Amino acid sequence: MSNVLAIIACPQRLAQGQLAAEALRKAAQQAGHQIAIEIRHAQSVQGRLDEAQLAAADAVIVIAEGDADTGRLHGRASHAAKLDAVLANAAGVIATALGSTPATASGSKLRIVAITSCPTGIAHTFMAAEGLSQAAANLGHDIKVETQGSVGSQNTLGAADIAAADLVIIAADTQVNLDRFAGKRLYSSGTKAAINDGIALVKRAQAEARPHQAAGSDAQPQAAANPDSKNSERSAAYKHLMTGVSFMLPFVVTGGLLIALGFALGGIYVYEDAFKGTLGWTLFNIGAKASFALMVPVLAGYIAYSIADRPGIAPGMAGGMIAGAIGSGFLGGIVAGFIAGYTVKYLNEKIQLGRNFDGLKPVLILPLLGTTIVGLLMYYVLGQPVAAALGVVTDWLKGLQGSSALALGMILGGMMAFDMGGPINKAAYTFATGLLASQVYAPMAAVMAAGMTPPLGIALAALLFKNRFSADEREGAKAAGVLGISFITEGAIPFAAKDPLRVIPALVAGSALAGAISMAAGCELRVPHGGVFVLPIPNAVTNLGMYLVALVAGTVLTAVALGLVKKPAN
């Protein structure tokens, strides 16, 4: 057992710094090492390392994008690591710092490449990368993980990496382009498998991976490589939807913030002609008539892209534009995206023009036929019924009061905490986000409050009921609190995974209360992300006082419930 120290000084990437600290703690624990971590914020230092700790360390890891105060090391050797490298392979960073290479468990060392991706590209993406990296390190394999996150691809796999790889693992909840892996043994799963049990996933991939066939090949498609997947079609539909949501989110976030800033500068009637030409009016229109106007076409376009690749984008986006024009909103966009995707996919399989003319299919024939079919179906068959259904839902939501609003808030809140970023959580989030295009803002407020509550409740419980948490858990709870205020519900996952039967009900109870209070109080939120950092923006949240009451009440209930149900730590 070795004594490892880490200094993380990344003040501009605070949330990722906290995730890196958790990754290092987990990797050290799995390898049997002791670790102490100092995290340096802009104004404070968490877990400051003293001279005695520095003197007794077997290795010091420095992750610095700011001042790490390395002068106190007095020239002793340290291992400099990049933040992204720690997020991708914490176990490897520790092993390198100690000058050791993990031994293989099976005697055959594999070279693995992997890609992780989730709809929001924040927490699950990096947690899945961490899970795979630690698993490969523990099994003695080499791995490089590309994360397709909110800021684009990081640790990108090069042609040489792929050529040398023995195995490809895709742990993603969104569609990932697999063209570059043609001929390689490939295994696909969601991010949850990598987060919950990375070792089992790597072993399963090693046993069940099949050579990936490039698009258009006559060989059996990769989708059949995992025959034990009983719900493959349902899983595929979810992945297609989440791909659309992931591309839509930046438009919704940007549009919501610009609308809120327009209200802040010009008041709640800034959109009227009397304010035309003012900065507030301009910002409002950029947000409402540019970013927000694109959210449904982008949602539909990238659902179709996930199903049919690039030829599906034009028919999907055209269907999304029609959905917006006829008032069927995000529901119509979802319908249009799936119709466009499966129509283009079917046409691509059935239309065979021969080698000389196949080049016309992706740029002319498929977009033209797909757009025509989707457009006609949306205008003459599906658009109006979907618009009517959305209108009924919208009117019902806007008219909710009293017990009805309370019940909906409880349901949405409970869904946000039940699987913390999984399908149920994403269903509630997608529902609330989609309604923003229909000027229904109350569900979004309930969902964000409920999503912040689990990690905040854990942080508070670790402070109030210290005997219920180990020293490592209390340290990790601080990171969870930071993620909580940022509306990253996944910060609660490590605690729920250790004791799900006790922790998850407590989290659900607190989130249900937060959602219920928010809905019952009529709180509205125009921005679909950002946590507490968007609350100071005027008019981003209506009834801010009661919104804070909802957040505090949910957090306190979660903490108290955890204190009651969790057993004392050993």
Strands 45-46 and 79-80: unpaired
Q: Which helix (H) or strand (E) holds 97?
A: helix 90-97
Q: Which residues contact 3 (CB under 8 A, 6 or more apart)?
A: 33, 34, 35, 56, 57, 58, 59
Instruction: Please identify which of the residues 118, 314, 483, 559 carries the catalytic annotation.
Output: 118
Active site residue 10: no
The DSSP string of 420-464 is SSSHHHHHHHHHHHHHGGGT--HHHHHHHHHHHHHHHHHHHHHHH
Say if residues 547 and 515 touch (Cβ distance below 8 Å).
no
**Position 421: which residue type?**
G
Whole-number Å distance between alpha carbons of 191 and 118: 7
Q: Which of 341, 433, 340 minimizes the C-alpha distance to 378?
A: 340
Looking at the DSSP bridge assignments, the partners of residue 171 are 116, 189
Greatest alpha-carbon span in the chain: 76
Residue 568 carries which DSSP code?
Answer: P
Cβ proximity of 144 and 114 under 8 Å: yes
Closest CA to 324 of 399, 378, 252, 247: 378
Interatomic CA distance for residues 102 and 306, integer angstroms: 38
**Of 290, 419, 303, 315, which Cα lies nearest the Cα of 366?**
315
Q: Which helix (H) or strand (E) holds 131?
A: helix 123-139
SS3 at position 519: helix
- Rounded Cα distance between 183 and 222, Å, is 11
Structure tokens at 55: 């003197």
149 CB-near residues (< 8 Å, 6+ apart): 117, 121, 122, 125, 126
Which residues are identified as catalytic? 118
